Structure formats: C-alpha cells, structure tokens
Amino acid sequence: MGDRPGPGVAPLGFAIGVAVMLVGLVVDPLVIAPLGGAIAIAAGSVWARRGDAAPVRIVTTSEPKAGERYPRSRLLERATLGIGGLVALVVTLPTAGVALLPSFLGGKHRPVDLGPVAAFPEGEFVIATFLADRQAGEVSRRSAYVRNNGLLGTVPSFTIMSSRCTHVGCPTQPNGPAFAQQRRAEHTSAGEVGLVPTQPSGFGCPCHGSQFDNEGNRTAGPAPRALDRYEFSIRNGRVVLGRLYSVSRVDGTGAQARIHSYALKGAGEPAAGPEAWLYPLDPSS
C-alpha cells in the first residue's frame, strides 16, 4: 500500500485563484480578475511541480508489478488539476467575452444633427434635448447646454456641455430661468430636437449640490471635474454633435476659452491630478 504526503496548500490556492478570477469578472475585470488568474496559475504550477517532486514510499509484502511506474495518486492529482483548469476556462471565456469585449470594442457612435446654426442665437444658451440613438428611442434621450460663441476666425464656435453632473451622473439644471414657452422643435435626421432658451448664471445639481459656472467649471460640491463636453462639427450649415470628452477645467470664456480636455471618464472620476492615478484605465476610452 502507498503512503504519499499531501499536496499542501497548492490545491487550495488554485481554487481560491479561480474563485477570485470569477468574482473579478463581475467586480473589476481589469484588476481583480487578472489577479485571480495569476494566483490560479501560480498555485497550479506549484501543485504540478510538487506532484512531480513528492517522494513515494511503498510498503508492500510483494514486489511491484513490472512496468508500473506512475502512481495512481499522482494521476488523480493531475486529472483534478486538468479538469479544474478546463472548467475554469469554459466558465471564464464566455463571461469574459460578455463583460469585456463591448468595452474594448466600444459602442458605435452616431453623430446627432441638432439643427441649423441659425437656430442658436449668438451669445445665448439653449437647452437642447435629443435622441443619442434614434433606434433605441426614448431611453437614449439626452440634454446638452449649447451656446453659440460666434466666429473664431472664419469658423463658428460653440460651447456644448453635457447636462449630466460629473459626480454620479444626475441631470443638472440651469441656475436661472428657462423659457419653456419659447420652446422650438427642429426635425432632423436624429429625430425631433427640442430647443429651450435659458439665461443661466451657472448650473447646479439637485442631487448632491455640485455647482458649475457657465463654462462648466466646478465651483462647489463633490463633483471631481468640470462638466463633460461634446465634440461638434458644422456640416452644411448644421450643428452636428460628436463624442463626449471630459474636462478638468476651462480657462477663459467662449470662443477664446482654453479647454483642458481628456478622454471621457466615468462618473466620479477626476480627469487630472494624482487622484486620477487611482482609477484604472477605461477600455472604451
């Protein structure tokens, strides 16, 4: 009969690594999941090597059978390791695909036609509501603060800011009157765009009290950065929205403003400074 020392903590470490990896796919695919995978690989390697190096003491009253050189306990260990790895692979790959691929591939961006330049009076803010994805319908409805800054040289200049607070994404409101009775509708390729004139002295978030000035700079509250902005282009005399991007701060005003821009950050993430180093990279950026 064979007496073999136990494999130690390596199998437990392998199981813990697989569990951490699976949990990480849900909690944090960029940090926790790779950490769990590394633990599983390291523990599995130690487990396999320990199986090779472990001595086998045979206590028997008869000579071993000729050609029997591979102990059954070692076969069971390696079979368990192989089956465990296969199960982890089968479970992990589909989950990782669903969790990670959309972020790395990025969603398809659809430009949004807000209407003709003439629909936006120079020097005045307009609240524009529109469908970011006409096929998705009302769930994609968004609002933006649009100001026609006039010409920058020979090119029209606009300030177009997202209405979403950069703290947790609540909709902000103009600190000033919005003239709903003067609402106009522009029918564009993106659907109906509502335009409501407003005269703000900044913008405020009703959820947690963050405040922003007319350039989107944070002036109070827990928001970590300025309001996000939209890229835009002028096509055939019409204002077309591009992608969102994040802003740490804006120096100056209007067409002469200097915008400190960054790839789009998530709600609650600073765009610059040491605090921004604490957040992992956003794959979609």
Residue 284 lies in a domain: no
Closest by CA position to 120, among listed 240, 242, 244: 240
pLDDT at residue 71 is higher than 90: no
* Whether residues 272 and 170 fall in one domain: yes
* Whether residues 85 and 130 fall in one domain: no
22: CB partners within 8 A, 6+ apart: 36, 88, 91, 92, 95
User: Could you give the number of structural domains in the chain?
Assistant: 2
* Whether residues 130 and 229 fall in one domain: yes
| pTM, 2 dp | 0.66
Residue 283 lies in a domain: no
Q: Are 163 and 230 in contact (CB under 8 A)?
A: no
DSSP 137-193: GGGGEEEEEEEEEEEETTEEEEEEEESB-TTT-PBPEESS-B-GGG-EEEEETTEEE
* Whether residues 256 and 120 fall in one domain: yes
One-letter amino acid at 178 equals A
Q: What is the pLDDT of residue 178?
A: 95
Q: Are 260 and 249 in contact (CB under 8 A)?
A: yes
* Whether residues 153 and 65 fall in one domain: no
What is the average pLDDT score of the chain?
83
Q: Which of 105, 120, 142 is the last residue of a domain?
A: 105
Residue 201 lies in a domain: yes
The answer to which of 67-76, 226-235, 273-282 has the lowest mean pLDDT is: 67-76
**Which residue segment(s) compose the domain that 14 sits in?**
2-105
pLDDT tens digit string along 141-181?
999 999 999 999 999 999 999 999 999 999 999 999 999 99
Among all chains, which residue has been given the structure tokens 């076969």?
75
